[in-house]
Amino acid sequence: MAESRRTPSAHLLIFPYPAQGHMLPLLDFAHLLSSRGFTITIVVTPANYPLLSPLLSKSPSIQTLVLPFPSSSLLPPGIENAKGLPVPQFAYLFHLLRALHDPLLAWIRCQTTPVSTIISDFFLGWTQPLAVELGIPRIVFSPSGILGSAVTHSLFRRMPKRPDLNDDDYPVDFPSIPNSPVYPWRQLSRLFRSYVEGDEVSESLKQNFLWNLESWGIVSNTFRALEGPYLERPIEDLGWKRVWAVGPLAPKGSAADRGGRNRMSEAEVTTWLDAFPEASVVYVSFGSQAALSPPLAATIAAALEKSGAPFVWAEAQGTAAIPEDLADRTVGRGLVIRGWAPQVAILHHPAVGSFLTHCGWNSVLEAVAAGVAMLTWPLTADQFVNARLVENEAPRGVRAWEGLSSVPDPDELARVVSESLGESGKELRERVKDLSRKSTDAVNQNGSSHADLEELVQELLKLL
Is residue 309 pLDDT above 50, yes or no? yes
pLDDT value, residue 2: 45
Strand arrangement of the beta sheet that strand 138-142 belongs to: 63-66, 39-44, 11-15, 117-121, 138-142, 217-220, 243-245
Is residue 85 pLDDT above 80, yes or no? no
Would 445 be classed as within a structural domain?
no
Q: Does residue 242 sit in the same domain as residue 286? A: no
Would 459 be classed as within a structural domain?
no
Q: Does residue 289 sit in the same domain as residue 317? A: yes
Provide the CB-side half-sphere exposure for 237 (13 A, CA). Answer: 24
Q: Does residue 245 sit in the same domain as residue 274? A: no
Q: Which tens digits make up the pLDDT trace of 70-81?
A: 876 555 444 444
DSSP state of 390: I
pLDDT value, residue 140: 98
Q: Does residue 219 sit in the same domain as residue 291? A: no
Catalytic residue, chosen from 11, 31, 121, 450, is: 121
Provide the CB-side half-sphere exposure for 64 (13 A, CA). Answer: 19
Higher-confidence position of 196 and 67 = 67
Q: Does residue 155 sit in the same domain as residue 294? A: no
Number of domains making up the chain: 2
Would 2 be classed as within a structural domain?
no
Residues 6+ apart with CB under 8 A from 409: none
Would 455 be classed as within a structural domain?
no
pLDDT value, residue 222: 97
In degrees and rounded to multiples of 5, residue 315 shows phi and psi of -120, 100
- Indicate if 22 belongs to the active site: yes
Rounded Cα distance between 445 and 339, Å, is: 37
Higher-confidence position of 13 and 85 = 13
Would 146 be classed as within a structural domain?
yes
| Mean residue pLDDT across the chain | 90
Would 461 be classed as within a structural domain?
no
**Structural domain range at position 422:** 266-440
215, 249, 283: which is the final residue of a domain?
249
Provide the whole-model pTM.
Answer: 0.92
pLDDT > 70: what percent of the chain?
Answer: 90
Q: Does residue 326 sit in the same domain as residue 433? A: yes
For residue 211, the domain's CATH number is 3.40.50.2000
pLDDT value, residue 263: 73
**Residues facing 13 on adjacent strands:** 41, 118
Catalytic residue, chosen from 22, 153, 348, 450, is: 22
- Indicate if 121 belongs to the active site: yes
249, 275, 301: which is the final residue of a domain?
249
Q: Does residue 234 sit in the same domain as residue 340? A: no
Q: Does residue 295 sit in the same domain as residue 361? A: yes
Is residue 154 pLDDT above 50, yes or no? yes
pLDDT value, residue 192: 94
Q: Which tens digits make up the pLDDT trace of 169-179?
A: 999 999 999 99
Least confident stretch, 58-67, 114-123, 128-137, 407-416 = 58-67
**How would residue 396 be classed by pLDDT, with cut points 50, 70 and 90?**
confident
Between the CA of residue 143 and those of 85, 109, 140, what are the distances in Å?
28, 28, 10
Is residue 83 pLDDT above 80, yes or no? no
